[in-house]
Structure 1
Amino acid sequence: MMLFAVFLAGFTALTLRLFVFPAADVPVQADAIVMLAGPGDRTGKAIELARTGYAPVLVMSTPGTRGCSAHEAPKAEVICFSPHPVTTRGEARAAAELAARHGWTRILFVTGRAQDTRARIRISRCFHGDLRVTVVGPRRLREWPYAIAYEWGALAKALIWQRSC
């Protein structure tokens, strides 16, 4: 019973550190802001960062039928893309390709709080410049169980089966 309690405490602490309270960066000047698709007000955060002047380029992942909010960021050039595959891995690949094409060495990524850890892993495998991540959140309490279960599975997939860019 004691071993189970220790395991449960460790699992809970790790879950909180990886998905609920990740190591988000303070926004800094960058060559581009890249918004990953997903829940939360990512678009609002990315546009706010662009309007504030953190980067001259705003890149928005717009998979499926999501529209591009190019008109909302007047201080930045806006680039929209639909990742292939429509995953964080696809977004990381697209961001790295854009960085290579445009000579970007520092990118500020915008993602959800729960996705932060996995996004860093995925992006760092493709983009070898200065990677900064700012998060949006928090999610509504009722959304956390699904988000945590999903992120544990997606993190295992990234660490075990999909170890390359």
Structure 2
Amino acid sequence: MVIVFLGVGVVLAWLTVNPRLNPAPQVDALIVLSTQSGAHDEARRLAEEGVTDRLLVSTPEDAPASLCQESPGGATVECFSPDPVTTQGEAIVGTELAREHGVESLGVLTFDHHIERSRMLMDRCWDGELHMYEFEPVRGRRGYMYDFVYAMAAYAKTFVTPGCSAEPPQWMQTPIDHFKLDR
């Protein structure tokens, strides 16, 4: 059993630092996850290059919302508050909005350590074509390590919350919330 856990851990660690990207030349909509600074700049660039004409931007209460007042490259920008305020909440609300707009090909923009877990969560909520886009966050060595450790721990939460809208047990969510606040 220990060997299995170690094997899974090694694979997840590898995918965390070497995510599988599959950006398409064009998607019907791009969900911009509220992760780190740099996401909005990359979303603007992608819209201006014609990758999408619809940006669905996650903007929790404490997140910057400057992109919500713009229309880069003529794209329609729709901002939403995820519920719950997690990547899973972004997957739930973002894919609901995509379906409302008749989207068939959906892109998701996030950073390297967040791509594989985001893909898992989006796949649970979206049956259509899904493409992952990456931006490079501005971070030092400490930020890189923080993101890696957080990503590895967050996989546990992802595995105990199967399905699109399942919620994690409170005993697991409380320490995660404290860890996020201490950053």
Which interval holds the TM-score relative to the shorter structure? 0.7 to 0.9
Question: Given that residues 50 and 73 in structure 1 are in contact (C-alpha distance below 8 angstroms), is that contact kept between their aligned partners in structure 2?
Answer: yes
Matched to 1:142, the amino acid is R
Number of equivalences: 158
| d(CA) in 2 for partners of 1:103, 1:44 | 26
* Consecutive aligned runs of 4 or more in structure 1 exceeding 4 Å deviation: 10-14
Q: 1:72 to 1:104 in 2, by over 3 A?
A: closer
Contact 1:40/1:136 (8 A) holds in 2 = no
Q: In the aligned structure 2, how far is the partner of 1:68 from the partner of 1:60? A: 10
CA distance in 2 between partners of 1:14 and 1:103 (Å): 33
TM alignment of 1:82-161, pairs within 5 A: 82-137=81-136, 139-159=139-159, 161=160
The DSSP-based 3-state class of the residue aligned with 2:103 is: coil
**CA 109–46 in structure 1, closer or farther in 2 if over 3 Å, else same:** same
* Cα separation, 1, equivalents of 2:94 and 2:71: 21
Q: Cα distance, 1:11 vs. partner?
A: 5.1
Contact 2:49 2:73 in 1 (8 A): no
Q: d(CA) in 2 for partners of 1:119 and 1:134?
A: 11
Provide the identity percentage.
Answer: 32
1:79-117 residue CA offsets vs partner (Å, 9 max, x unmatched): 001101110000000111112211101111100110001
Please tell me the root mean square deviation across aligned C-alpha atoms, in Å: 2.2
- Give how far 1:14 is off: 4.6
Per-residue deviation at 1:78? 0.5
Tell me what 2:44 maps to. Answer: 47
Code of the aligned partner of 2:158:
A
